[in-house]
């Protein structure tokens, strides 16, 4: 877990500001939930591996000695959302569209762009089965990335029911679907041979794994594979045709293909047009997805900048009644890692700590410096007061090292004449202005 010193916080605030602005333009509203949930709310929602990564909090009071845990740190923002929707059903609108930008915690081994405490930027729409929801989520994620300066990303799109159809058609038995998806999800990391070995290890018959990998290879060669995220020459219609032929008359598979076709058509009306490529090899790890799944890829990061999908049954685990839901989560840390490595932050994202530093002439005039600082702040400036009566040269050097662009000097002469001297730390130029004009002069120097 990391500390964020001021420059790092400013970079994070810049990204969060863009994400917030885009999400609000899509009519999403802010939600915040506590860092701590009841342990039982989280257990059983993330699969066995997920359960192991939950940070548990000791029950207070006499139970502490027994090591009993009743609370846990938030593991993602989706399960708390499902709890909130079940808990506040009557207070929320029929179509609840919320964004949430908060940290989550996983007892994972840290890696590049992966930390034990990290922020998720989630956006979810509940209450509708319309594919307009998927299209808008792709558009919102795309807008965020474009606004941040990304141009070489693509949004991979697939569908859990289509995957079911593909696995059934390949001859993978239903009870092996989950494990086969975990293996298939690693195709771009471990290659076809690696996936073949994993499938064999998990007891999937050779005929089934051959069929599956042959299909994946065909999909990849159609230009819709994982080959290169920056390669925009993909043909969703062709991929959908290949999927149709492979899945045949598998009912759930056909319905999924129809939904993908629908999303693809709607996306064409949004700003995500040309960004969404249907990719039949995308699987996504989490078990709660029921429909479309999405993931954002850039060429220079293994793993994704974010992803999401439809999960129509999760709220039902809390409410006892299903509420359709679909969401997208952007990983703040990974976005910042890539933006930092590529030098994508604009100069304004790391501002100087203050617009001006007020120096102190001598110990007796400290109050006079505080009064000047007050005037400049009332004029809208960010003002740091040097707190001690050090030699002026030392104060100047401090301002310069801090990157503060201007300092003021209130010497005995200036004070006698109602003036204040303004020194430009870049040029070294110094000039005296009427004290009442100082704020205005500093704002438009």
Residue 387 engages its own copies in binding (rule: CB under 8 A): yes
DSSP 54: P
Least distance between its own copies and beta carbon 206 (Å):
37
Rounded Cα distance between 102 and 45, Å, is: 19
Give residues 53-82 in contact with its own copies (rule: CB under 8 A).
Answer: 55-58, 60, 64-69, 71, 73, 80
Report d(CA 119, CA 103) in Å as an integer. 4
Q: Residue 402 in 3-state DSSP?
A: helix
- Tell me how many degrees the CA angle 155-160-165 measures, rounded to the nearest 5: 120
Question: In the beta sheet, which residues pair with residue 303?
Answer: none
Chain centroid offset of residue 219 CA: 29
Is 233 a binding residue for its own copies by CB under 8 A? The answer is no
x/- letters, 29..48, toward its own copies (CB under 8 A): xxxxxxxx------------
Q: Of 4-12, 174-182, 227-235, 418-426, which segment contacts its own copies by CB under 8 A?
A: 4-12
**Identified binder of its own copies from the candidate list 48, 62, 90, 93, rule CB under 8 A:** 93
User: 301 with 226: CB under 8 angstroms?
Assistant: no
C-alpha radius of gyration, the chain, whole number: 28
**Which residue number, 39 or 192, has a Cβ lying nearer to its own copies?**
39
The Cα-based distances of 266 to 25, 40, 145, 234, 263 in angstroms read: 18, 39, 20, 17, 5
Tell me which of 26, 86, 317, 350 binds its own copies, using CB under 8 A: 26
- Between 271 and 430, name the residue whose CB sits nearer to its own copies: 271
With binding defined as CB under 8 A, does residue 136 bind its own copies? yes
Rule CB under 8 A: say whether 276 interacts with its own copies. Answer: no
| Of residues 7 and 201, the one with the C-beta less far from its own copies | 7
6 binding its own copies? (CB under 8 A): yes
The minimum distance between CB 59 and its own copies, in angstroms, equals: 10
| CA pair distance 34, 119, nearest whole angstrom | 14
Spatial contact of 334 and 143, defined as CB atoms under 8 Å apart: no
> Is residue 15 involved in binding its own copies (CB under 8 A)?
no
Q: Which stretch binds its own copies (CB under 8 A): 192-200, 250-258, 267-275, 430-438?
A: 267-275
29/413 with CB nearer its own copies: 29
């Amino acid at each position: 877990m990391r500390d964020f010193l001021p420059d790092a916080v400013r970079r994070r605030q810049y990204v969060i500001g863009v994400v917030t602005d885009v999400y609000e333009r899509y009519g999403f509203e802010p939600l915040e939930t506590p860092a701590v949930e009841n342990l039982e709310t989280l257990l059983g929602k993330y699969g066995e591996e997920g359960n192991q990564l939950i940070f548990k909090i000791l029950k207070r009071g006499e139970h502490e000695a027994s090591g009993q845990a009743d609370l846990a740190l938030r593991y993602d923002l989706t399960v708390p959302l499902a709890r909130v929707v079940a808990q506040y059903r009557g207070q929320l609108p029929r179509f609840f569209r919320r964004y949430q930008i908060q940290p989550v915690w996983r007892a994972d081994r840290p890696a590049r762009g992966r930390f034990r405490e990290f922020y998720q930027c989630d956006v979810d729409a509940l209450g509708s089965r319309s594919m307009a929801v998927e299209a808008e989520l792709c558009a919102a994620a795309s807008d965020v990335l474009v606004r941040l300066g990304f141009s070489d990303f693509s949004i991979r799109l697939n569908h859990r029911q289509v995957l079911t159809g593909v696995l059934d058609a390949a001859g993978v038995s239903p009870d092996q679907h989950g494990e086969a998806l975990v293996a298939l999800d690693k195709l771009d990391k471990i290659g076809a041979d690696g996936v073949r070995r994993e499938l064999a290890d998990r007891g999937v018959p050779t005929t089934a794994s051959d069929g599956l990998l042959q299909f994946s290879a065909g999909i990849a060669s159609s230009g819709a594979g994982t080959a290169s995220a920056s390669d925009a020459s993909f043909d969703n219609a062709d991929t959908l045709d290949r999927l149709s032929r492979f899945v045949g008359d598998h009912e759930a598979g056909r319905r999924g293909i129809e939904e993908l076709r629908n999303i693809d058509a709607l996306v064409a009306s949004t700003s995500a047009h040309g960004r969404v490529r249907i990719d039949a090899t995308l699987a996504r790890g989490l078990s709660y997805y029921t429909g479309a799944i999405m993931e954002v890829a850039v060429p220079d990061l293994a793993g994704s900048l974010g992803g999401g999908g439809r999960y129509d049954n999760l709220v039902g685990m809390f409410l006892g009644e299903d509420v359709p839901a679909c969401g997208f989560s952007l990983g703040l840390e990974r976005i910042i890692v890539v933006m930092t490595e590529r030098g994508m932050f604009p100069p304004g994202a790391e501002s100087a700590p203050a617009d001006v530093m007020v120096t102190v002439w001598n110990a007796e005039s400290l109050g006079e410096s505080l009064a000047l600082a007050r005037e400049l702040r009332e004029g809208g400036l960010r003002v740091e007061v040097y707190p001690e009566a050090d030699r002026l040269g030392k104060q100047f050097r401090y301002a310069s090292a801090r990157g503060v662009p201007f300092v003021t000097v209130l010497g005995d002469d200036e004070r006698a004449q109602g003036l204040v001297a303004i020194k430009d730390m870049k040029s070294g130029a110094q000039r005296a202005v009427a004290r009442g004009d100082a704020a205005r002069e500093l704002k438009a120097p």
